[in-house]
Structure 1
Amino acid sequence: MRKLDLLDFQILQILQEDARKSYTEMGHLLGVSEGTVRSRINRMIEDKIFYFIVHTDPIKVGLNVQAIIGMSTRLGYQEKVAEELGKLRAVRFIGAFSGRNDLIIQAYFRSNEDLVTFVNKDLANVEGIVSAEVSIELKQYKDSFSYVTLDGLEDNAG
């Protein structure tokens, strides 16, 4: 995998703002050819620098309840538990953390009843979970996948 340079970061920033922008438009904005933009994007996709995804608004597709669930696992079971959680459709994010929780997941549900069923059936059936602490989102202030910026990049690129 090649190191990212300033042009790569500029392309990423444009894609974060509007991933529907054409390669020709991006090339024009950046002063390079459409082919350069296309090859840079293809290389970054091959190197798994980013993925094109559709980020839906959960509420607008009927997922009215978002929960963050912190879990403690039995020693030696963290990987196995994470693997099993990854198979559950409601789970969007799984991460291993230091501190009180070994794993934290983010999951979406149509209703509180669906969340209760998830905890009492799905989580209860995963071997190795010792405890789970459920927090329901009351209000969302920010949800973004845009974190690549050009601030200070000139010193760190290449």
Structure 2
Amino acid sequence: MPSLDQTDWDILRVLQQNAKASCSTIAKLIYVSEGTVRTRMRKLLEAKVFDFIIYTDPKKIGLDVQAIIGIHTQTDQQRHVAFQLQAFEAVRFVGSFSGTHDLIIQVYFPTKEDLVSFINTDLAATEGVIDVEVNVELKQYKDTFSY
């Protein structure tokens, strides 16, 4: 995919504000033809610059406990641990970071008891995990996927 030009960025901006906007609506908003929008969107989708997803508010579906967990792994086990963590349904995000923790995961659970069970049972049994640091979300101020 070549670098994005202003038209591409304008399309993405409109879609981030309203993912349901039609090609004709976007075209009118950014002063290009509907065909241009349709072609650009197809190319951006094919290049995986963006994708359409459904965002579900965790709290509205009963996932009231969110935690960010920092994980220390055995040397040379980081990748192995990361792949194991991906299998857990409660794990929404797994990332490798520089700094204090080798991996950071984001998890959602219905109750604090479910989180405790995950830590004491699932994480404790995960080969290569040395230590975990659990940070439970107390209040959320922003959660967005816009750039």
TM-score (norm 1): 0.90
> Aligned residue for 1:117?
117
Q: Match of 1:59, SS? A: helix
Q: What are the residue-to-residue correspondences of 1:66-85 with 2, within 5 Å? A: 66-85=66-85
- Post-superposition Cα deviations, 1:40-82, rounded to whole Å, max 9, x if no partner, equal 1111111111111111111101000000000000000111111
SS of aligned partner of 1:142: coil
Match in the other structure for 1:139? 139
Equivalent residue letter for 2:127 = E
Letter in 2 for 1:48: K
For residue 94 of structure 1, report the CA deviation from its aligned partner. Answer: 1.0
Compare relative contact order (CA 8 Å, sep 6+) and give the higher one, 1 or 2.
1
Correspondence 1:1-158 to 2 at 5 A: 1-147=1-147
* Coordinate RMSD, CA, aligned: 0.8
Shift of 1:121: 1.5
In structure 2, how many angstroms separate the alpha carbons of the residues matched to 1:103 and 1:116? 19
Counterpart code for 1:19 = A
- The alignment of Structure 1 onto Structure 2 pairs a total of residues equal to 147
Give ranges in structure 2 of 5+ residues lacking alignment: none
Give the letter aligned to residue 121 of structure 1.
T
Give the Cα–Cα distance (whole angstroms) in 1 for the partners of residues 32 and 100 of structure 2.
Answer: 49
Unaligned stretches of 5+ in structure 1?
148-158
Moved over 6 A (4+): none
